[in-house]
Amino acid sequence: MLLDKINSPEELKKLPIGELTLLCAEIRKLILETVSCTGGHLASSLGAVELAVSLHYCLNTPEDILIWDVGHQAYAHKILTARAKKFSTLRQAGGISGFPCREESIYDCFTTGHASTSLSLALGMACAQDLSGIEKKHKIVSVIGDGTLTGGMCFEALNNAGHLQKDLLVVFNTNEMSIAPSVGALSNYLNKIISLPIYNRFRDALQDFVLKKIPRGKRLLGLAKKFEEGLKNILVPGILFEELGFRYFGPIDGHNLELLVTTLKHLLALKGPILLHVVTKKGRGYKPAEDNPENFHSIGQFDLATGASLKPEGVIAYTDIFSKKITELAKDNDKIAAISAAMPQGTGLDKFALSFPERFFDVGIAEEHMIGFAAGLARGGLRPVVAIYSTFLQRSYDQIMEEVSLQNLPVVFAIDRAGIVGEDGATHQGIFDVSFLRTIPNLAIMAPKDAQEFETMLEFAFKHNGPIAIRYPKDRVPVARPTPQRGYPESPETRNIELGRAEVLRRGKDMAIIALGSMVYPALEAADILAKEDISVELINARFAKPLDRELLEDIILRFPKMITIEEGIIDGGFGSFVKEALGNKIDVKQLGLPCEFIKQGKRDDILAKYGLNAQGIASAVKECLK
């Protein structure tokens, strides 16, 4: 196998170009065999194999800088950069990350996992290189996808790069369109001509001659440029990039290795900001992924022969509950609208979109705009729900504060993947949301313990007169079980949600435990373990991370010397910190949660166990506290 001989891009360069097609086939085979067992971002990585091979074939990495936006396309890059033998550990604890990771390899210049960032990073590096004064400049290349261009940060960087005119190559990979044969052939021919070194030397020399020797030379060049732009607008969709200050080449076939290598070699010799547009096919080489690329964008384990998911039958996730309930609520309330940032399927809004297409909005990878847009809908009388992963909500902090909470608008934030997400690792762990949301005035924060409570919280959220967030984990929904006691003595049943009101699940005499959301059922199991050792704990389901149930807290102070708070989020500034701040020194509060650090990939249950956030860990913490 060719792949056995490739331990670095230097060894890749020794292959004749005619053998690169076979190498690409071997890379695809390895990606498929691995991801079918580990899960991962499959369709985009299969589509970018030839692109990764061509870039490393033409660049001198790691001296030349190659930055992959997000990293969904980067599996072939990992395989080519001394990680082929470790690739079977993809997304596993102690293995290699599912995204580019700076700690993992010198070929990964940045740890990436969020979209629309690579152009800014690349431009910054290009400016730093110029300011460093080094004689031999390294090439700097940013690879972006078509989804990247839906993010405002990408356009800000494009605009700035065109203005600064630094040496920078942007490879723009679109995979949602095909090139019509006639346009593709004409475009390929045109790009072969205009990327040739002799053409560009002639172009530059002619421009210099016209400006210096011919009267009104600037006007002639302006007319020539307008003609060239008009021609390009007819032949290729590059006029936007030209207007932003880039020289545009493409679109070309992103699976044609010879064309890719030839074009890249020519373009890397040019100065200034260059954009190469390539068109690839998601899922290339694996028919199930080619036919259903969205299903194979991010996938768990699957049967390689059929493409069928190996997700256990009968398992219901919180996303499934959200998907069903939000669609039901919208049937009875025509004011409910739903917004996704390019993730309708991942957030469960795909069913809503089918049922109410006029009330569903996919804004693309533009989280800042998403929240501002939601504020506009709410101000106009609608009841918008923003469905978003916790890790991506971080990108819209200013809009949550200024456009929504400052105006006290009734926007519902459905925060999926809150807590440990597992195999996607440090860039995707949703562990910071409570700590950065709880300081925002007017915003209430809820977390359900099970499916029934989640549905009730959604009903409550759309009646609440102000902004409200519901955070829920990337996890199966626990099977609800009856509890010995519910509510306060004066209220035997607290099935209905009241703002800032907690739920007493179990009475006890030795210690109080307040658990938030996903930690309630592990705490219940811990209470059972402790009961066998004659330790009696009072268990409270917080329901709200904000506002706190201060009446209940005052009652706890009177009856217990110690209390434990439990949350699936960072301790620093989180729910437990809020409780501790509220109570001052009136009671000893021990906080169980996650450390304020970037937690690497691994199975969700294993990570929670590591930090004592399972039944055994909670029981041990209680016993240690009681000592």
| Cα separation, 158 vs 169, whole angstroms | 11
Residues 348, 47, 122, 188, CA torsion sign: negative
- The enclosing H or E element of 539 equals strand 537-541
| Neighbour count for residue 27 (Cβ, 10 Å) | 26
Tell me if residue 52 falls in helix, strand or coil: helix
CB 91 within 8 A of CB 423: yes
CB 593 within 8 A of CB 566: yes
| Cα separation, 142 vs 135, whole angstroms | 22
Tell me if residue 263 falls in helix, strand or coil: helix
608 Ramachandran zone, left/alpha/beta (phi>0; psi -120 to 50): alpha
| Cα separation, 457 vs 446, whole angstroms | 8
The pair of structure tokens assigned to 435 is 């700590």
The pair of structure tokens assigned to 496 is 């209905």
Query: At 268, which amino acid appears?
Result: L
Alpha carbons within 13 angstroms on the beta-carbon side of residue 233 total 10
User: What is the edge-to-edge ordering of all strands in the sheet holding 562-570?
Assistant: 503-506, 537-541, 511-515, 562-570, 588-594
Provide the pairing of β-strand 468-471 with 562-570.
Answer: unpaired
User: What is the edge-to-edge ordering of all strands in the sheet holding 383-389?
Assistant: 360-362, 336-340, 383-389, 412-416, 468-471, 444-446, 544-546
CB 380 within 8 A of CB 409: no
Q: Rounded to the nearest 10 degrees, how much is the dihedral formed by the CA atoms of 219, 223, 226, 227?
A: -160
233 Ramachandran zone, left/alpha/beta (phi>0; psi -120 to 50): alpha
Provide the pairing of β-strand 273-279 with 168-174.
Answer: parallel
The CA-CA-CA angle for residues 147, 150, 153, to 5°, reads 110
Q: What is the CA radius of gyration of the chain?
A: 28
Angle between helices 197-213 and 181-194 (to 10 degrees): 60
User: Active-site positions?
Assistant: 282, 367, 395
Q: What pairs with residue 38 in β-bridges?
A: none
User: DSSP labels for 304-349?
Assistant: TTT--B-PPTT--BHHHHHHHHHHHHHHH-TTEEEEESS-HHHHT-
Locate tokens 């194999």: which residue? 49
Contacts of 626 (CB under 8 A, 6+ apart): 510, 511, 535, 562
